[in-house]
């Protein structure tokens, strides 16, 4: 069975809207504590409107994307207005995705992926993960994610979300490989991950920066002598962990097990710092 992206985006976006429709708009979102329920609903709207504009306009350059950002409509006020705009935003995104093939070029924030296909995958996973956020904010049991979609969601973290961070490291920063983590799904291929820290002082204003990024380790020889940890669990547990939503595991309607992290304390600390970077 292959993932039906359009059906997933439609279904998960509606589940988010249903959960947030009856939630206090000022309720904090447990998995995104800087957001209220109203902020989450607005985020769903603006994200889908943004990618609709990218696809509708055939944007492939940063300049075209900047113009889209500058032309976006202001935030709607009030739950009813946000819900109505969410419905329109989802419908418009689905219409654009239905019109374009995966291999068509389209701007994306990770240079290694510049096609409609990565937008389709990203919106599938984003709609799913934010549905988890919405259900938690509403105090509901979290609807399970099927194994195939959970596996794809975990792979998206490993292949897109985490390695893209290397592209955002400024030229003046230093990068150090800190630790190795082996990701071990119960029913899936294992992945060897290199976790790096980048740090430095921005020349123009002297501000200090310190961040953590990760990507698959292409050369196993790089792992020699570095602290190491293993991360094991069901593919669903690992997917939620990778997206920074591990606390959702306690609220899943059917359960998903736990994430077990073992190994060198330095490697575990590096993993914790990586997850703390978060994905909104």
Per-residue pLDDT reduced to its tens digit, 21-48 = 999 999 999 999 999 999 999 999 999 9
Average pLDDT over residues 227-249: 93
Residue 245 pLDDT > 90, yes or no?
Answer: yes
Average pLDDT over residues 106-125: 96
Q: What is the CA radius of gyration of the chain?
A: 19
In eight-state DSSP terms, residue 142 is B
Asked which of 87-96, 116-125, 184-193, 237-246 is least confident by mean pLDDT, the reply is 184-193
Query: DSSP of 162-227, one letter per residue?
Result: TGGGGGGS-TT-EEEEEEEEEEEETTS--EEEEEEEEEEE-TTT--EEEEEEEEE-S-GGGGTTS-
Residue 253 pLDDT > 70, yes or no?
Answer: no
User: How many residues are given for the chain?
Assistant: 280
The token duo for 261 is 């992290």
pLDDT of residue 219: 78
**Helices 116-137 and 5-21 sit at what angle, rounded to 10 degrees?**
30
Banded model confidence at residue 209, pLDDT cuts 50, 70, 90 = very high
Banded model confidence at residue 236, pLDDT cuts 50, 70, 90 = very high
Chain mean position to CA 32: 12
Average pLDDT over residues 118-133: 97
Query: Contact at 8 Å (CB) between 179 and 229?
Result: yes
Q: Give the chain's mean pLDDT.
A: 93
Break the chain into its structural domains and give their ranges. 5-140, 160-277
5-140: CATH number: 1.20.120.450
pLDDT of residue 221: 76
Average pLDDT over residues 140-158: 93
Q: Fold match between 5-140 and 160-277?
A: no
Query: Contact at 8 Å (CB) between 234 and 256?
Result: yes
Chain mean position to CA 175: 23
pTM: 0.92
Banded model confidence at residue 280, pLDDT cuts 50, 70, 90 = low
Residue 1 pLDDT > 60, yes or no?
Answer: no
Placement of tokens 């979300």 in the chain: 161
Average pLDDT over residues 128-139: 97
Banded model confidence at residue 135, pLDDT cuts 50, 70, 90 = very high
Asked which of 25-34, 41-50, 122-131, 220-229 is least confident by mean pLDDT, the reply is 220-229
Domain 160-277 in CATH 3.30.1050? The answer is yes
């Amino acid at each position: 069975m292959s993932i039906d992206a359009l059906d997933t985006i439609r279904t998960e976006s509606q589940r988010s809207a249903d959960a947030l429709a009856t939630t206090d708009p000022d309720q904090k979102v447990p998995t995104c504590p800087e957001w209220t329920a109203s902020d989450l609903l607005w985020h769903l709207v603006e994200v889908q409107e943004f990618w609709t504009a990218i696809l509708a306009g055939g944007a492939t350059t940063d300049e075209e994307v900047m113009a889209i950002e500058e032309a976006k409509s202001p935030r709607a006020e009030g739950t009813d207005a946000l819900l109505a705009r969410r419905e329109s935003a989802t419908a418009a995104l689905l219409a654009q995705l239905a019109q374009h093939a995966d291999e068509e070029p389209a701007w994306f924030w990770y240079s290694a992926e510049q096609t409609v296909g990565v937008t389709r995958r990203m919106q599938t996973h984003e709609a799913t993960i934010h549905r988890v956020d919405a259900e938690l904010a509403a105090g509901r049991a979290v609807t399970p994610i099927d194994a195939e979609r959970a596996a794809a969601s975990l792979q998206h973290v490993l292949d897109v979300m985490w390695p893209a961070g290397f592209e955002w490291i400024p030229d003046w920063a230093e990068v150090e490989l800190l630790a190795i983590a082996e990701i071990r799904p119960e029913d899936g291929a294992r992945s060897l991950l290199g976790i790096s820290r980048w740090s430095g002082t921005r020349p123009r204003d002297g501000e200090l920066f310190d961040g953590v990024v990760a990507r698959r380790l292409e050369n196993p020889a790089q792992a020699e002598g570095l602290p190491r940890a293993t991360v094991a669990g069901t593919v669903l547990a690992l997917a939620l962990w990778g997206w920074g939503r591990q606390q959702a595991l306690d609220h899943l309607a059917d359960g998903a097990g736990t994430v077990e992290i073992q190994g060198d304390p330095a490697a575990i600390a590096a993993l914790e710092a990586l997850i703390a970077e978060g994905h909104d």
